[in-house]
């Protein structure tokens, strides 16, 4: 995945070029990513594997426009994210990227259906169309009968199914999944991975999963290993 000549943003859906990122922790500065190169083509499925603190989540956040680099560039479909206005970046995160998090991040006051529809409504999809799309996706993830339930009424696996549906409601080009099975037992985690893989394959969506779980990583045709903020040679 790492090219000695550096990624070519024009031949990748998303690319990181010589990216560096650090955080302040008290009086210390902790370097998380160091001169990192990464790229993924449209329709690819890649797993980022590495120990806790290796930089997996940080890289996902940068690729998805949730954070900005200290140095280097993030490109999406030939465009440099650093040149986006705040409104353009918000639209990019809402429409072009679907996020799946370990902690689900569902809004507790909203029903499962309302949680799924929220990104579509933010993107100004009509209420009728958003509801139809949301019900279709909840049906697809096996939650047709749970559409009106609040998150506290759902199991962990059901909440993650809602999160998958929400991530796909705007038909994004890229899905970023950060330890999507981390809060689930092994059986439920395997079911979630089956669903995630089948849903993105149907839509030919590009998928990047960050995981420390070797079984999850093994589902991906390509595995990229991070250690000490750098991609390790394969």
Domains along the chain? Answer: 44-61+85-231 (3.40.50.300)
Which sign does the torsion angle of CA 105, 110, 113, 118 carry? Answer: negative
Provide mean pLDDT across the span 68-82.
95
Chain segment 14-57, per-residue pLDDT in tens: 999 999 999 988 888 889 999 999 999 999 999 999 888 889 99
Q: pLDDT band for 2, please (50, 70, 90 cuts).
A: very low
Q: Who's near 161: CB < 8 A, 6+ residues apart?
A: 141, 142, 143, 192, 195
pLDDT of residue 124: 95
The Cα 92–Cα 99 span in angstroms is 12
Chain segment 45-73, per-residue pLDDT in tens: 999 998 888 899 999 999 999 999 999 99
Is the entire prediction scored with pTM above 0.75?
Answer: yes
* Mean pLDDT for the chain overall: 92
pLDDT of residue 9: 72
For residues 7 and 208, the model is more confident at 208
Query: Around Cβ 42, how many Cβ atoms within 10 Å?
Result: 14
pLDDT of residue 27: 85
The radius of gyration of the chain from alpha carbons, rounded to an integer in Å, stands at 18
The Cα 113–Cα 138 span in angstroms is 7
**Long-range contact set of residues 153-156: C-beta below 8 Å, sequence gap at least 24:** 154/112, 155/188, 156/104, 156/183, 156/184, 156/188
Question: Residues 20, 72: contact at Cβ < 8 Å?
Answer: yes
Chain segment 111-169, per-residue pLDDT in tens: 999 999 999 999 999 999 999 999 999 999 999 999 999 999 999 999 999 999 999 99
pLDDT over 90 at 80, yes or no: yes
Two tokens, residue 170 = 């705007």
Of the candidates 171, 167, 153, 168, the residue with the CA atom closest to the CA atom of residue 112: 153
Chain segment 193-228, per-residue pLDDT in tens: 999 999 988 889 999 999 988 899 999 999 999 988
CA angle 143, 144, 150 (to 5 degrees): 65
The Cα 36–Cα 183 span in angstroms is 29
């Amino acid at each position: 995945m790492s090219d000695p000549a550096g990624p070519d943003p024009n031949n990748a859906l998303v690319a990181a070029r010589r990216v560096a990122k650090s955080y302040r922790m008290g009086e210390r500065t902790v370097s998380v990513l160091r001169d990192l190169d990464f790229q993924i083509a449209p329709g690819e499925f890649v797993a980022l594997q590495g120990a806790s603190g290796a930089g997996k989540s940080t890289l996902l956040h940068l690729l998805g426009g949730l954070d900005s680099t200290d140095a280097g560039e993030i490109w999406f479909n030939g465009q440099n994210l650093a040149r986006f206005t705040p409104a353009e970046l918000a639209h990019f995160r809402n429409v072009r990227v679907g996020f799946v998090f370990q902690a689900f991040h569902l809004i507790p006051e909203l029903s499962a259906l309302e949680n799924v529809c929220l990104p579509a409504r933010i993107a100004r999809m009509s209420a009728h169309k958003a509801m139809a799309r949301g019900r279709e996706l909840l049906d697809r993830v096996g939650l047709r009968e749970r559409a009106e339930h609040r998150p506290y009424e759902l199991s962990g696996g059901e909440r993650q199914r809602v999160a998958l549906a929400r991530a796909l409601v705007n038909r994004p080009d890229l899905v970023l999944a950060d330890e999507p099975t981390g809060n689930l037992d092994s059986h439920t985690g395997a079911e979630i991975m089956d669903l995630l893989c089948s849903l993105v394959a149907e839509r030919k969506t590009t998928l990047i999963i960050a995981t420390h779980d070797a079984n999850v990583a093994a589902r991906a045709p390509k595995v990229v290993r991070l250690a000490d903020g750098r991609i390790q040679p394969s």
